[in-house]
Amino acid sequence: MHLGVIHEIRDPAGWDRVMGSKELYGHPDLPPGFAILASITQDDAARGVCFWEAPSAAELQSLLEGAFGDAVVHDVFVADPARSVNLPAPQTATAPA
């Protein structure tokens, strides 16, 4: 399923550490069913927005909390295809059709 995330960045150095590492955003080591499709960070590193494919909002929330710890607060939500624009085709094998 497609998910959006609004990130409230409390520690820009912590955000940069994860964003620049292979542990989450380097793609190869993501768990099956997870794919990061896009990410943008505000110019002052106060907020970020990411677009994901994941099995559920709860599983993505858990993955993000484990990676970022207290550096970032994540607001994960399910994308409504009827109200969304330009959703890509599923990227993962476990994504619903």
DSSP code for 5:
E
DSSP code for 88:
P
41 inside domain: yes
Query: pLDDT (tens digit, 9 = 90+) per residue, 26-38?
Result: 555 789 999 999 9
**Can you give the pTM of this predicted structure?**
0.86
CA separation for the pair 97, 57 (Å, rounded): 17
In the prediction, which pLDDT does 78 show?
Answer: 98
Report the domain count for the chain. Answer: 1
Cβ atoms 39, 85 nearer than 8 A: no
51 inside domain: yes
The CATH number of whichever domain residue 73 belongs to comes to: 3.30.70.100
Domain hosting residue 55, numbered range = 2-81
Task: Kindly provide the residue ranges of all beta strands, DSSP E only, lying in the chain, ordered along the sequence.
Answer: 2-9, 35-41, 47-53, 72-78
CA separation for the pair 10, 31 (Å, rounded): 26
55 inside domain: yes
Secondary structure of residue 49 in the 3-state scheme? strand
Query: pLDDT (tens digit, 9 = 90+) per residue, 37-92?
Result: 999 999 999 999 999 999 999 999 999 999 999 999 999 999 999 999 999 888 88
